Amino acid sequence: MFGLGYGSSRKRSPEQARSRSKRSKSRRKAAVSVSACTDSAEEASRYSTSYSSEEDQPKKTGCGPRLDKDEVQHFRWTAGLKMNARYTVLDLLGDGTFGRVVLAEDLNRRRNVAIKVIRNVDKYTRNAMREAEILKDIRKAESGRSSGCVRLHETFFHEADGERLFCLVCEVLGMSLYDLLKKNRYRGLWVQDIQSVADQCLKALRFLHLDLSLTHTDLKLENVLFRSTDLPQSAAFPREAFWQAAQTRPSARNCTTEYVRPVSTQIKLIDFGNATYELEHHSSIINTRQYRAPEVILSLGWNERSDLWSVGCIVVELYTGELLFRTHESLEHLSMMEQSIERFPQALLERAGQRPDGRFVQKDPKAWRLRSPEAESAMKVKQQKALHKLVQKEHMSLANFTASLLILDPERRPSSQMALEHPFLFEKFPD
């Protein structure tokens, strides 16, 4: 779906078919919606979720009857339905595990809004309430400037079918980076557009990290949305030949789908349900698997620099159209990092080896190293390309920029402020 995504996840099938389920298609003519909020059975087998399983969460009582989460139905909507005495429902924008998002008219302000109606499941309601508090903190800290983060207008409870459903009212945004990539059959963005998106992501992170001491913890393509709701426009893809040559599937090599560019590259970050303040408890596992930093996998603790790693993964994906690390297994993931970037520093491996759960490393007579993956996994790791081999020669500064974000040792990884000074962000590109 397009629009404001909340806590969605992707999973990839063995055949790497990246198309979404049919029911995730937009039900509107324009690119207005509240994005990445559809989880199909196919998706459930393709991308690992960001955090621990829901079965680990204690069940608590709350507002309205509590059923097993799989038994709870979505909020039933009809065009013209009134909510909170000021919103008129216009259309459905998307369904997801968490609930349902509708487009509505704000009768008081004469504007359209996106209303996220949370399913009556205690876990989802608690997460949504926490996200609302974080979005209020973000808005308070903005002080007249743009944070680069989605704006929450208000929250309320909606009475329906004997239940009280928690609702978040947000601004309406356009499609996500993932939606655009999918629409283009996973051909990457223009380098100009990647440059603009990367710069804005880092500025949004600078605001979160410095002004709020807040780590997003779940940056990925679905959680970066274009501000404009206008449909993207037809354009040529300048790296078509390079992209075609890199494809292994005949169907991809014969791609004739129209390529489109966004009308504007202005973006906003969304999905703050698992964002974490510096002094809060830090969960041991954060991020969707493919955007997860090495220190998280090695259980070494993490801070706001883990967001920078995720941005590095995003930049590569926006260039190639493919995930940088296509894996579901931790040791394989770490081995891919070494293959793509560099060998892990000894100090980092030693720290990991001294932890009770240091199962991914071992000490040889002279040095620490990652354990060897199994044969099938080792073959997959061997196919992982080095970063500089993923880009054309004229875009080598993009590879250098990405490498600066994907530094394995988080203590050497730049802050968002430092990353904003990289030459790539100031270079002029014709494409």
pLDDT in tens, 358-388: 899 999 998 999 999 999 999 999 999 999 9
Same domain, 54 and 134: yes
Q: Is 42 exposed, middle or buried (0-12, 13-18, 19+ CB in 10 A)?
A: middle
d(CA 363, CA 370): 9
Average pLDDT over residues 226-235: 96
SS3 state of residue 242 = helix
- Beta-carbon contacts of residue 378 (< 8 Å; ≥ 6 apart): 335, 372
CB atoms within 10 A of CB 62: 16
Residue 147's domain spans which residues? 22-170
**308 and 221, same structural domain?**
yes
Same domain, 344 and 260: yes
Whether the per-residue pLDDT at 13 is higher than 50: the answer is no
Question: Given pLDDT bands bounded at 50, 70 and 90, which one contains residue 97?
Answer: confident
Both tokens of 363, joined, read 């000490």
Q: Are residues 281 and 416 both part of a single domain?
A: yes
Looking at the annotation, which residues are catalytic? 218
Inside any domain, residue 10 = no
- The answer to whether 60 is a known ligand-binding residue is no
pLDDT band at 298 (very low <50, low <70, confident <90, very high): very high
Same domain, 304 and 388: yes
Do 242 and 116 belong to one domain?
no
Domain end residue (candidates: 170, 190, 207) = 170
- Residues 54 and 99 both lie in one domain: yes
* CA distances in angstroms from 74 to 71, 121, 287, 354, listed in the order given: 10, 11, 26, 47
Domain of residue 91, CATH code:
3.30.200.20
Question: What's the structural domain count of the chain?
Answer: 2
pLDDT digits (tens, 9 = 90+) for 100-136: 999 999 999 999 999 999 999 999 999 999 999 999 9
Supply the DSSP symbol for 219: -
Neighbours of 259 (CB within 10 A): 17
Kindly state the DSSP code that residue 410 receives in the 8-state scheme.
T
Tell me which of 28-42, 76-90, 154-168, 352-366 is least confident: 28-42
Residues 303 and 406 in one domain: yes
Domain boundary (170, 189, 210) is at 170
Residue 8 resides in a domain: no
Residue 252 is predicted with a pLDDT of 67
41 pLDDT above the threshold of 70: no
- Please tell me whether residues 382 and 407 are part of one structural domain: yes
Are residues 385 and 248 part of one domain?
yes
Q: Lowest-confidence range among 17-26, 43-52, 174-183?
A: 43-52
